[in-house]
Chain A
């Protein structure tokens, strides 16, 4: 695993897209150079005591040549609101890259089933698979057209991008899992990653347990540190006692290995 660093970094650019989601491009050369798909960073943009802890974000993309990487923030609470409001040129504190890299790229076809903030988590993987000339089929889901996240990036790094909206304002009117099931029936995919929806995670785990595909979940956890110190981000092991730590054992897990709520 690449050695993580803790550094002061500069916010190079920020862009809100769609409303409620802010993309930050951060300059930190070592993280940009060593990050790989599946990994995350801990980010802090304050010296205050409230908020006090850094926040975890998946690395959306890393550009080793420019020395920058991108994160996508869903504005939800105090910390994400502060981070999303930072101006270009602001100082951030970042620790990373953290977590286990994805290492299995030797797949016949990969499907990415994502929704909301979870859509950002798989972009790096899609880019890597595309570079390796491995087929990528992405099912991007949202409640409505205006809530689709990372649409342009996922379009760029997918052989086919399927959109599913709950209200039918764009693409398939219904559940993204229907599209996934069709891709599997057509024999196009043997590996599936999902992020951003418990419903998707449950569906994928059932497929994994039935031996239909290899299923993987990008999980989030209640992280204080991101490096195994605080033991906050526990996720229950399937079939045995005890917990994994999302930060150290993940954040990407084989779906059959963990309990999905």
Chain B
């Protein structure tokens, strides 16, 4: 295959290609190494960690829906110390840039955890999961502009690591939230987290999920996610990592053309463990057949300004 440059830059960090896992949807371990090596990815990321251990939600935690699934996992984690000791060194050794996804239950926790992660010296980017199900102060962190700005600017003022704000799409206008994150000093955006929804188990005549509501992901939400990225690209200068139903190269290219500098694969890793590899290869084939030298030439092309 003809060589094209697949590398992109997110907040000053070079990704060898624009495809990475979405947080919480891909484990780096022996099983996955059998399929393809995660060292081939554009970046690697952990399942969101909190400062302290959390058990996660009671089952049922997932529920299949047309072209997607609801999840209410509740972010189980062993806490920051365990992550730093056990998992982070494994991610660091792989080669691609390491993004660490964190969430806080309080403002103090956001700050303490950010500093703790930076101190390891093993991290390239910090992703703030601002759309976690555990609410603080009565509202989710990224569904209200002022709260979002407050968290992002607090973290940005304490750490030197570039900060990615991962946004919830359940807002009046996501472009406003993208702007707020940029104003607060975010170096990049991850767009979008899942859409809140629910399903009813008609046999049990009860909500299908133990948590009642869950986050909808998968190809079902892709047009919504592409629109979110497109609209944010119009108003911010910081790079965007696009996600929401990426199942292969066609979906990934939609996001890139809409303005994402990279894409993340979530649910489809469950269905086809080769999805990310296929996506990287398919983007490369597309670039060759369309006569581009670099993936960077197609970012945002759908806006017709290039």
Which residues of A approach B to under 8 Å, CB–CB? 1, 3-6, 44, 49-54, 79, 93, 95, 98, 221-222, 224-225, 227-236, 241-243
Contact = CB atoms under 8 A, between A and B. Distances in A.
A225 B270 contact: yes
Given A225-B269, A234-B56, A236-B58, A51 B64 contact: yes
Chain B CB within 10 Å, residue with most, of A3, A228, A231: A231
B271 A234 contact: no
Interface string B45-88: 00100000101111111111011110101001000000000000
Contact of A224 (B31, B32, B66, B69): B69
Contact of B64 (A53, A227, A233, A241): A53
B31 A52 contact: no
Contacts of A241: 55
Contact of A243 (B35, B67, B76, B219): B76
Interface residues of B, number: 39
B34 A4 contact: yes
Given A222-B63, A234-B57, A235-B59, 13 more contacts: A4-B31, A6-B274, A50-B67, A52-B67, A54-B270, A222-B60, A224-B71, A227-B27, A227-B273, A228-B27, A230-B62, A232-B59, A232-B61
Contacts of A3: 34
B181 to A, nearest CB: 27
- The B contact surface, by secondary structure, is loop
A5 B31 CA distance: 9
B58 A230 contact: no
A243 B56 contact: yes
A234 B209 CA distance: 12
B270 A53 contact: yes
Contacts of B220: 49
Nearest to B210: A234
A236 B60 CA distance: 11
- The A contact surface, by secondary structure, is loop
B218 interface: yes
A224 B29 CA distance: 18
Contacts of B30: 1
A52 B34 CA distance: 23
20 contacts: A5-B34, A49-B66, A52-B68, A52-B218, A54-B270, A54-B271, A79-B64, A98-B31, A225-B270, A227-B31, A227-B32, A231-B24, A231-B61, A231-B73, A232-B59, A233-B59, A234-B56, A234-B57, A234-B61, A234-B76
A140 to B, nearest CB: 26
A228 B269 contact: no
A127 B103 CA distance: 48
B234 interface: no
B56 A229 contact: no
Interface in B212-230: 218-220
Nearest to B59: A234
B259 to A, nearest CB: 25
B26 A49 contact: no
B75 to A, nearest CB: 9
Contacts of A231: 24, 47, 56, 61, 73, 76
